Amino acid sequence: MLYREAGDFSTTYPEDSQTFPIKFDRWRYYAVLFIAIFVIPFVINDYWVNSIFMPFLIYAIAAIGLNILVGYCGQVSLGTGGFMAVGAYACYKLMTAFPDVSMIFHVLLAGLITAGVGVIFGLPSLRIKGFYLAVATLAAQFFLVWLFNRVSWFYNYSASGQINAPEREVLGVLITGPNTEAWATYLFCLFFTIASAIIARNLTRGSIGRQWMAIRDMDIAAEIIGVNPLKAKLTAFAVSSFFVGISGALFFAVYLGAVEVGEVFGITKSFLVLFMIIIGGLGSIFGSFAGAAFLVLLPVLLKVIGVDLFGWPTDIVAHLNLVVVGGLIVIFLIAEPHGLAQLWRVAKEKLRLWPFPH
């Protein structure tokens, strides 16, 4: 009743292949965008931004990036944390080297640099697949963290080995450093999240996306049909790393402000983003958002219920979070390998007929 497609006809091919072919979907999408841009910035405070919105937006970018590589192109990667670190350190070096340039360029450039690094570490994918590729990317993870720990040029020879984001502006508004306003950092991250999602959607629905999916589903047939596997895999690594690099740059510069690489961008980060796309849905942009939202909200929710409501100790709740996430991964892998996105699709199928199934 609410959700129906009767009377909704596409008369041209562009209309038929748009992202939200059903009118109701389209209006809901515009409504979400409107609220995100014009309502939320006026009502949020530091707590909401720092514990929910910013991690959600930034992880969503990382999840989109990893989903392009794993979900669309079928190349398993465990190096997300390392690539986020590349984005963060590239952003840091750019911020300190060119203090007068707008943060937007720094973040974009950090993404491009990470794309380059991603291509280099993607080269083994031309020869190996599956578990072996996963292990090769794992090597990238450990190597990159080691590199940023050991080579002091990367952290400008600071005594602590940490990197700290200096105060930088966009259009005269402070974006990084300790004195930022909640709405400014929120909008800055939102801008990158929306842009990333649109670009990712455009790439995955066109011929490049089909090349990636062809490689994922059957690489030999793909090659015989005319897909250059070298080009397809390396563009997947480049685009994926670009988004992951942007998210790393934002994570460091806007969200945390100070980073110790081993702690923040360690192997656990790689797994966290991987869990997001498994729970959210492989091969789906919406799934990247759903997974990021789920894994960001779960600890907050558990804390509200456990600590605030029942008065349990904080560490028990933190451990409970790990147990719940682990259990959910197993449940999703067995029961719904396509994740929340698939559940959402099924729900929509059902809603089309509800409440009169005949």
Q: Which residues bind other proteins (CB under 8 A)?
A: 12-14, 17, 199, 202-203, 205-208, 210-211, 213-214, 216-218, 220-229, 235, 239, 283
ω before 99 within 30° of 0 (cis)?
Answer: no
Cβ-based nearer residue to other proteins, 216 or 269:
216
Query: Do 247 and 65 touch, CB atoms closer than 8 A?
Result: yes
What phi, psi does 122 have (nearest 5°)?
-85, -15
List of residues 6+ apart from 278 with CB closer than 8 A: 291, 329, 332, 333, 339
Structure tokens that stand for 223 in this block: 């090659």
Cβ-based nearer residue to other proteins, 49 or 239:
239
Cα–Cα distance measured from residue 188 to residue 170, given in angstroms and rounded to the nearest whole number: 9
List of residues 6+ apart from 7 with CB closer than 8 A: none
Report the nearest approach of other proteins to the CB of residue 229 (Å): 8
Cβ-based nearer residue to other proteins, 115 or 165:
115
Report the nearest approach of other proteins to the CB of residue 107 (Å): 16
Residue with tokens 């709405």: 183
Cβ-based nearer residue to other proteins, 224 or 309:
224
Report the nearest approach of other proteins to the CB of residue 184 (Å): 26
Cβ-based nearer residue to other proteins, 282 or 296:
282
Report the nearest approach of other proteins to the CB of residue 27 (Å): 21
Cβ-based nearer residue to other proteins, 158 or 228:
228
Cα–Cα distance measured from residue 6 to residue 22, given in angstroms and rounded to the nearest whole number: 9
Report the nearest approach of other proteins to the CB of residue 332 (Å): 17
Residue with tokens 């360029």: 105
Report the nearest approach of other proteins to the CB of residue 18 (Å): 10
Cα–Cα distance measured from residue 82 to residue 120, given in angstroms and rounded to the nearest whole number: 13
